[in-house]
Amino acid sequence: MAAPDSPAIAARGVGRVFGNFVAVSNLDLEVLAGEVFGLLGANGAGKTTAIRMLCGTLSPSSGSVRVAGIDMVANPGQARAHIGYVTQRFTLYGDLSARENLELQAGLYGMAGERLQRRLHWALERLELGPVADERAARLPLGFQRRLAVAAALLHEPRVLFLDEPTSGIDPLARQQLWELVYELAEAGVGVLVTTHYMDEALFCDRLALMDRGEVIATGTPQSLRSLPLATPLVELRTAHDAAMTGWLATRPEVLEVLPRAGRLRVRLHSGATTPAFIAAALDEAARRGLGTLDAQPGEAGLEDVFVSLLESHQVAS
């Protein structure tokens, strides 16, 4: 029996190897009850392999996994009884209606009687599936298929919920509704692990882990990660003559990348470049060319800027 204060998910030294390919290496991860934890990374970073090991659909090559306080390797069936898992792809039965899919999933969890009816009613109402309850699942729009998958994962009231890219391809309103449900579940004490590559969604999480090439390379709250120093300094410029300034920037050896954004030029500098020296050079050039007043200042790093910097540093080091 799990202790009441056990982490929802605890992974120690978890790895997975396919032949000579290391998909996940030495994964250490802890998700608390009532916490929304985001696992971020580009496609191929190892997120899906990691989540499959954590929820027991793939055996790890090394390490240990405990979910809801239960050893996933030693007691997978017992652990899965406390898990809800929504995969990237729709895996329910397309030939069955939404209601029939939910009834089938409930039966797999041994649900019957009053509890079954109560949870079916909750799922159809909370996920707004009532109008399509008798439609074949294969004919449902993607947004409704995603709602149905979430409803099926939550029927048995799991203590831990895994969401693998849950909002990929769905409209903004459906994304907002799904995140509202995630917060509702977390407030009720459910531990939620969500994988995503959307930076705006990362800000919705209590804590984050960034994966690259099968490894976690940074962990923390969104605020703490944003405060990390950038390996590549960032400068923001504003001028009435962006084309002329962009032409000059293209000649500068310290400039790594120029990103027009919201009426400004966000300039990423190579590692080792000094922001004050670059700003001074930009001001001198604007004055020399008669470009008028140039607003130049150190850029405020967003989460995406930090992640790009971390990924580039990790890839250079490895």
The pLDDT of residue 2 is above 60: no
Confidence of residue 318 (pLDDT cuts 50, 70, 90): low
**Whole-Å CA distances, 117 to 97, 104, 125, 270:** 17, 13, 12, 61
Name the residue with tokens 């055996």: 59
Pick 9-226's CATH classification: 3.40.640.10, 1.25.60.10, 3.40.1000.10, 3.40.50.300: 3.40.50.300
Residue 4: pLDDT over 60: no
Q: Where are the chain's structural domains?
A: 9-226, 234-300
pTM of the model: 0.88
The CA-atom distances, in angstroms, between 312 and each of 14, 23, 234, 306 are 24, 19, 15, 10
Per-residue pLDDT, 17? 97
At 282-313, the pLDDT tens digits run 989 888 888 776 888 998 888 888 988 888 88
Question: What is the pLDDT, as a whole number, of residue 194?
Answer: 96
Q: Which amino acid is at 171?
A: D
The angle formed by the CA atoms of residues 43, 45 and 49, to the nearest 5 degrees, is 100
256-269, pLDDT tens digit by residue? 999 888 788 999 99
Please state, as a whole number, how many other Cβ atoms lie within 10 Å of the Cβ of residue 28: 13
Task: Please give the CATH number for the structural domain made up of 234-300.
Answer: 3.30.70.100
pLDDT confidence of residue 3: 47
Sorted by sequence, the CB contacts under 8 Å of residue 163 that are 6+ apart come out as 86, 150, 182, 192, 193, 194, 195
Instruction: Return the pLDDT at 78.
Output: 93
